[in-house]
Amino acid sequence: MKAKLFVSKLNQITKALIFMTPAQREVVHQSIQALDTEIPIDELFQPLFDSKSQCPHCDSSQFKKWGKAGGVQRYRCNSCSKTFNNKTNTPLARLHKSCIWVEYAHCMALRLTLRQAARVCGINLKTAFLWRHRFLQAQAGKNDDKLSGIIEVDEFFLAYSEKGNKTLGSGQKARKRGGDIDKRTKEGQVAVLLSIDRSKHMIAPILSADTSSEISINLTENIEENSVLCSDGAWAYVKIAKLKHCDHKRLINGKIRVMDNIYHIQTVNGAIANFKAWVNGSMKGVATKYLSNYLAWFKESSAKLNKRQILLSAYGRQQYYGT
Ligand SMILES: [Zn+2]
């Protein structure tokens, strides 16, 4: 549709919407959503492929169209002679049934369990599990959001879990449902740092140890200078705040909860409680080897990504959270 025609149609639609009841607007909303499920997957990814315009095997920009396979355009590289399509070497390569990926992405936006998602999409549990982790692979461990303004930070711990592994290493007994362990005991736990600013940018790196240097490595680069850093009393944050010329608000447990009515760590602690309740509750505990995937999913969910954005993130588009 040409821009001029679009503007005149948009005016008509806007006028019509004004005179509708909320229920009628809901019908319109549902019709738009129904149209959305019709997005042809290859049309969604093609612009990303075109913007890179290179062979996924050798990065050469010299390639040509090479017929179609299953309705999907193939290409052949002039340099390495290998063939590929627009999903080769992405986490979505060689996954079948792409016509229901949009529906599956919608299930992810709703944070459905495997069983629920499998039922909605008419796929088996094994496929639902494979898709979940392929959809999250590209964003797992990516923590490149820049935090600024008022930044809240805290760490939390989850029980180390080998859920799903039939043979456990190091003679450990399987821990039931990845439950929370007392924060004071550090054995058998995984530490995660969570930091959020008030524009909802978020990072959630897994720390290899709960030490000052690990906190510093995983947080310092993400903080814009001259921000306000709100943390608990841990010394690690004092150093970082100094280094980044941040005003540091230390909310020492039990003594001060809020400073000047705006400085607190309640948003980050709320997010931590929400994450723990989700993974230990409806997800019934998650294997530690997949923890970074669940953290990526949590970030997507907190940023309220829609199914289209979830698919683009799965393809590997650089995703920044927040506004
Ligand atoms: Zn090549």
Residue 167, pLDDT score: 55
CA of 45 to the centre of ligand 1 (A): 20
CA of 51 to the centre of ligand 1 (A): 17
Residue 172, pLDDT score: 52
Task: Look up the pTM and report it.
Answer: 0.82
Class of domain 150-303: alpha beta
Q: Domain locations in the chain?
A: 42-89, 150-303
CA of 89 to the centre of ligand 1 (A): 12
Digit-coded pLDDT (tens) for 150-189: 999 999 999 988 887 765 455 455 454 444 444 434 668 9
Digit-coded pLDDT (tens) for 248-259: 999 987 778 899
Residue 321, pLDDT score: 66
Digit-coded pLDDT (tens) for 302-318: 999 989 999 999 999 87
Residue 154, pLDDT score: 96
In terms of Cα–Cα distance, which of 89, 72, 98, 303 is closest to 196?
Answer: 303
Report the sign of the C-alpha dihedral through residues 41, 44, 49, 50, in that order: positive
**In which region does residue 123 sit, left (phi positive, over 0), alpha (psi from -120 to 50) or beta (all else)?**
beta
The DSSP line for 60-78 is -S-EEEEEEETTEEEEEET
Residue 133 has pLDDT above 80, yes or no: yes
pLDDT-derived band of residue 128, with 50, 70 and 90 as boundaries?
Answer: very high
CA of 75 to the centre of ligand 1 (A): 10
CA of 86 to the centre of ligand 1 (A): 13
Q: Is 219:139 a contact under the CB 8 Å cutoff?
A: no
pLDDT-derived band of residue 228, with 50, 70 and 90 as boundaries?
Answer: very high
CA of 44 to the centre of ligand 1 (A): 23
CA of 74 to the centre of ligand 1 (A): 13
CA of 54 to the centre of ligand 1 (A): 8
Lowest-pLDDT choice from 9-13, 39-43, 231-235: 39-43
CA of 71 to the centre of ligand 1 (A): 22
